Amino acid sequence: MDNLAKNIHPDAVFLESGRVVGRVERAFGVLTEGGLRQAGRAVSCLVEPRTGDDVLLSVDADRCHILAVLEREDGAGAETRLLFDGDVTLAAPAGRVTLAARDDLRLTSERLTLQARTAEAGFDRISMMSRVFLARFDRVKAVGRTLDTVFQRLVGRFRTSYRYVEEHDELQAGSMRQIVDGTLNVQTENTIHTAEGHIKLDAEQIHLA
Helix or strand or coil: residue 8?
A: helix
Ordered by start, the domain boundaries in the chain are 2-71
CATH number of this structure's domain 2-71: 2.40.50.140
Q: What is the pTM of this model?
A: 0.61
For the chain, 209 residues long, give each residue's pLDDT as a single digit of tens.
Answer: 455 444 546 668 899 999 999 999 989 999 999 899 999 999 999 999 999 999 999 998 888 999 999 998 876 566 788 888 889 999 999 999 999 998 899 999 999 999 999 999 999 999 999 999 999 999 999 999 999 999 999 999 999 999 999 999 999 999 999 999 999 999 999 999 999 999 999 999 988 87
- pLDDT for position 75: 61
List own/partner pairs for 100-106 with CB under 8 A and 24 or more apart.
none
Residue 35 backbone phi and psi in degrees, to 5: 125, -170
- pLDDT for position 79: 79
